[in-house]
Amino acid sequence: MTTKGATKAMTKTGILATFLTGALLLGGSAAAWGQATPITIKFSHVVAADAPKGKAALQFKKLVEERSNGRVKVEVYPNSQLYKDKEELEALQLGAVQMLAPTISKFGPLGVKEFEVLDLPYLFKDMAEAKTITQGPVGRDLLAKLEPKGIVGLAFWDNSFKQMTANTPMRTPGDFKGLKLRIQSSKVLDAQMRQIGALPQVMAFSEVYQALQTGVVDGQENPITNIYTQKFHEVQKHMTLTNHGYHAYVVIVNKKFWGDLPADVQAMLTSAMADSSAYFTDLAAKDDEEALAGIRQSGKTAIHTPTAEELAALRTALLPVHDKMKDRYGDAILTAINRALGR
Report pLDDT digits (tens) over 197-208.
Answer: 999 999 999 999
**Averaged pLDDT score across all residues of the chain:** 91
Q: Specify the pTM.
A: 0.87
Average of pLDDT values for 32-49?
Answer: 82
pLDDT at site 6: 45
More confident residue, 32 or 255: 255
CA nearest to 56, candidates 333, 283, 314: 283
Is the pLDDT at 23 greater than 80, yes or no? Answer: no
| Cα angle 314-317-319, degrees, rounded to a multiple of 5 | 105
pLDDT at site 37: 87
Instruction: Write the DSSP symbol of residue 119.
Output: G
pLDDT tens readout for residues 125-141 = 999 999 999 999 999 99
Is the pLDDT at 30 greater than 50, yes or no? Answer: no
CA 56 – CA 130 distance, rounded (Å): 19
pLDDT at site 85: 82
Instruction: Provide, rounded to the nearest whole percent, the portion of the chain with pLDDT above 70.
Output: 90
Q: How many CA atoms lie within 13 A of 41 on its CB side?
A: 30
CA 134 – CA 148 distance, rounded (Å): 20
pLDDT at site 15: 52
pLDDT at site 84: 86
Is the pLDDT at 289 greater than 50, yes or no? Answer: yes
